[in-house]
Each structure stands twice: as C-alpha cells, then as structure tokens.
Chains A and B, each alone.
Chain A
C-alpha cells in the first residue's frame, strides 16, 4: 500500500557539505541536526552548541526592522519543532530577493465577499481555513502579490502566509501584532518578521531565527490548499478575499507562471535560488505534504497520496499516517502510535469500525502543509520521505 523511504543521510550530509564548500553554509558537518532516536526534545538539543536554536553568533540585521523585546509578540508554542540546520547557517543563507522590508506589502485590511458571488475561476487555487464554523478562503492570485494577509477569523487575530517560490501556504496566530515581508529569502522561502518584536521567522520553519523570540515556535494552524470550486462545494457559506487590498496590482497575472495549467516557475525543474540541500529523489517542483514534530519531519508525495488514499511512515520510532481528502484534493497527517486500522470509505475513512471525515480521524493530527519538494528537502534533508 505504501512505501516509506527515509532520505539517505549520507546524501543529505554530502549535499550540505557541497553547499558549505560553495560558501552557502558555514559548518557543513554541523548543519544537519542528528535525528534523536530516543525522542529527546528540542530544549535538550538546544544546549548543543553545534546545531539548532538558540544561537546568536551571526547576527542578521535587516535595515528597517527594529528589534523590541517589549513589543507585542505573536503567539508561540511551548515546544520548538525540529530543525535540521543550525540557526547560524540559516542566517548566513539569507539573501535579498530584491524588494526591501515591506517592499512586498502585506494586506492589513483585507476585504471579503461571499464565495458564491466570486467570479474567480473554479479551478483557481485558494488557501482555506475554518475556525468555529467560520470559513474563509484566500486566493493565490492575491497572495502571490502580497505573501501575507493579517486578518481575523472567529474573532481571533491570524496571519495567512504564502511563499510563491516554495509553494507553501501556512497560517499563524498573530496575537496583537502583525507580520510583514522582510524581503529576504532563505532556501527560496519567505522570511517574515513580526512588527511587534522584530523577530525574523522563516515561514516554513515557523521558528524565530533572529531577534527577541529566537528559538520560539509560532502557533500554527492548517491552511488547506485547494481550488475555489472545491472549497465552495465544501463550504458554500465561506467568504473569499477580494482584490480590494488597498494596493494596485495586476491581480490575475502571476509573475512566476501559472497553476492552471502548471507553467513557468511552477513547472520547471530549475529553482531561482540555490536550495540549502538538494536531492534527485523527486522533481524539485513536485508537491509534498510535510509535517514536523519536535524530533523530526515527514513528507508524503501529494499526488501519490491522492492516488493511494493512505500512506504511512515514521519519524524515529513513531508511526505517522497520512490520509487523502478527495473532495478538497488535500491530505492530513496523524500520529498513529498504535497502527490503527484505517480503510477508505467513500470520501471518508473507516477507523476501527467507525466512519469519519479525513480531517477528523480519532488520532492526534499534526500540522501539515503543501510544499515544493526542493524546498522541503532543503530545510529537512533528514526527513522521512514517503512516495
């Protein structure tokens, strides 16, 4: 039914070593945080000087971002998630994408309309979220120009983020602050900053790598990458963001290419910036659904998951299972320590004799998101890859 393939450690180390020789990473032999079979958490690993947060030897100062330990902070979680690269190496890998701080302007006052009234094509990508019965969709055609939307849902302040170069859409609980685009990239990935404390957060890692909240993990929520039509079918009362962003852009035109059909940057096997680590295990732009835990990371090939419906793999000794949601064409990742019996049942699943929806299996769900393979591998070369 499935095959689990931990990415070869020697190849990962070799790739990072090669990058180090090219001057991209400072300390190749220290760049990959070793998997901890015993499951020791990040706080223990953080004391190791050679990898992971906290570390503060290479400062990443960006003109226009002020660090303020007393500023409003975004909501962070108690436990940091796995990182394969040392913080210093991530800082050294940061480079300007061209625009300066807020040169790509976040949308701070988004406007919405009922999705039923939207004239956006049914096949256009959107990133959806549901909280307390309220459903919202954020169109890729708006996010590609802004990358960040500071919004609210069900009365909670949230930030919706999208990085076009890595194909990642992630949601965060922003607390009383808002997020902006720093203009810097790491591993082709959006480097965000929170406007309260000035901490820098690589989107995919969601962990502070510079500033007062160094080593802290953002509180994250799942955004579903799907299409307007599929989201509307599932949540007919949903709202969708409009082009009324307060800025003028050629919404509908994607400077990188297109998703319907796939073209340009989204299709080619070339990347615009050198990844932190490289692998030929999959097409660089193929999509994986990736999840991280404090001790490791796992990714499943999205296309394969949608075909197979169920895939499983391990992080260390812990078993994880991914199930597809055929309706939304997405997938969810669950911690499955006891190897539950799961079978497809229509669009849902039969779990221990009970039919449930893909997003609500009676297991602990791990936050997961879509990502281009090259970007996921660049950040998590030691992750399990299921294809």
Chain B
C-alpha cells in the first residue's frame, strides 16, 4: 500500500516531466513557436466569436470604447455557463469586441491548451526527434478536443448552436451544454498527457 501511495505522485511527476520535455523541445524550434502562437491567437479569437463577444461591427467604420461604471462589481457576475459580464465594449472599425475579463481568461486558458496540442502535433509531424515524441502519439487528435468548448456558447435564452442549426432543446441537451467546456478541458489535458507517455526521457532538452 505504501508503495502505491508513493508511486502515484511519481507517475504524475513523470508525465509532467515528459510533457515539459515535449513542450520545451517544441517551443525551442521556430516552427514550433509559430504553431503555438497561431494556435493561441487563432483559437482565442474563434472562442470569443463563438461566445458572441467578438462579432462583425453593428456600425461599421465606428471606433470607440465604452466601459461600465463599476467594472469590478460586474466582472465576476456570471451570464451563463463559464461566461461572465463584459465590462467594456470596443468598436474597432470592422468588428465589435465585448471584453469580459473572466470569459477572456477562460478563453486564453483553453487557447493555451489548444496551442500546446497544435504545436506538439506540428513539430512531432515535422521532426519527431526534436522533442523526443513518438510519432504515433502525436496530439493532433487532441485538436478535436477543442471543439466542444466552441459549441458551449449561450446567448440569452439558449445555446448559440441550437439557434443556428434549429435543433429543439431538451432538458438533457441543455444540461449537456453546461458540461461542454469542462469536457473540452479534460480532453485537451488528457491529450497532452497521452502524448507525454510517448516522450523519451532521454530526449535532448
């Protein structure tokens, strides 16, 4: 028993260590860094659009900023599952952006996970030895894990997705929508850990 309790943290530590090797190996390469940044920014923008904080301008050509009177009081107020009140409205000529700090932070966290999956997948495909990844364990499948979070956005009285495709919602479907984002996080983290299993601890770091 005592062996088990000491082994479990070791397993986690080993995975984290190998994941760290894979990430450092990936980000040391220029193409790895580019893939990460593209994944980070790209997914963040898509996520903000999916939760309808980023959209085509209502008044094209207008530039301006509006901030609520009491940003701190509103910033942490939930407006839906994993969505929070916007505290500022940016009109940026062709697009409008509602800045909700907590929603944006969640989006950035998700984007970082997606970007890590993307960068590792890209580098392991281009040069698997660079980060000691078994090619068979590339995390490209993990990118699919990023999709559920994009479907989780809700507006007012229902999920955006149902509005678009016109599917009738049931209580079960509504409950599922509330779990899409946590499911995406679990899948993305799981994908990274799965990749880390194939990392050679002897890979150059």
Binding site for B on A (CB under 8 A): 95-100, 102-105, 144-145, 147, 163-165, 185, 188, 190, 246-253, 255-256, 264-265, 268, 270-274
Contacts and interface: CB of A to CB of B under 8 A. Distances in A.
Given A265-B163, A268-B166, A104 B156 contact: yes
Given A98-B177, A104-B156, A185-B157, A248 B166 contact: no
B162 A248 contact: no
B14 interface: no
Contact of B156 (A95, A246, A255): A255
Interface string B155-171: 11111101100101111
Task: Pick from B88, B158, B163, B168 the residue with the most CB of A within 10 Å.
Answer: B158
B77 interface: yes
A269 to B, nearest CB: 10
B38 interface: no
Contacts of A190: 157
Given A164-B157, A255-B52, A248 B68 contact: yes
B69 A250 contact: no
A98 B58 contact: no
Nearest to B159: A98
Nearest to B153: A98
B160 A250 contact: no
A317 B52 CA distance: 51
Given A99-B79, A164-B156, A248-B98, A273 B169 contact: yes
B89 A250 contact: yes
Interface in B38-85: 52, 55, 58-59, 66-69, 74, 77-81, 85
Contacts of B159: 98
Nearest to A97: B157
Task: Identify the 5 closest CB pairs spanning chains A and B, nearest first.
Answer: A98-B154, A255-B155, A97-B157, A248-B89, A252-B58
B163 A272 contact: yes
Interface residues of B, number: 39
Given A253-B55, A255-B160, A96 B174 contact: yes
Contacts of A250: 52, 55, 58, 89, 96, 98
A275 B84 CA distance: 29
Nearest to B52: A255
- Most B CB atoms within 10 A — which of A96, A147, A190, A253? A96
Contacts of A272: 157-158, 162-163, 168-169
Prevailing SS type, chain B contact patch: mixed
Interface in B167-196: 168-171, 174-175, 177-178
Contacts of A98: 80-81, 154, 156-159, 174, 177-178
A104 B79 contact: yes
A185 B169 CA distance: 11
7 contacts: A96-B171, A104-B156, A247-B86, A248-B68, A255-B52, A268-B166, A272-B158
Interface in B98-129: 98
A251 B59 CA distance: 11
Nearest to A268: B166
Given A250-B89, A255-B163, A265-B163, A99 B68 contact: no
B87 interface: yes
Contacts of B79: 99, 103-105
Given A98-B80, A248-B87, A145 B162 contact: no
Contacts of B87: 248
A313 to B, nearest CB: 31
A247 B156 CA distance: 14
Q: Considering residues B156, B169, B170, which has the most beta carbons from chain A within 10 angstroms of its beta carbon?
A: B156
Given A250-B89, A255-B163, A274 B156 contact: no
A105 B77 contact: yes
Given A100-B80, A104-B79, A105-B79, 19 more contacts: A95-B171, A97-B156, A97-B158, A97-B174, A98-B80, A98-B81, A98-B157, A98-B159, A99-B78, A99-B156, A105-B85, A248-B66, A248-B67, A250-B55, A250-B98, A253-B58, A255-B155, A255-B160, A256-B163
Nearest to B81: A98
Given A247-B74, A273-B169, A145 B156 contact: yes
Nearest to B175: A96
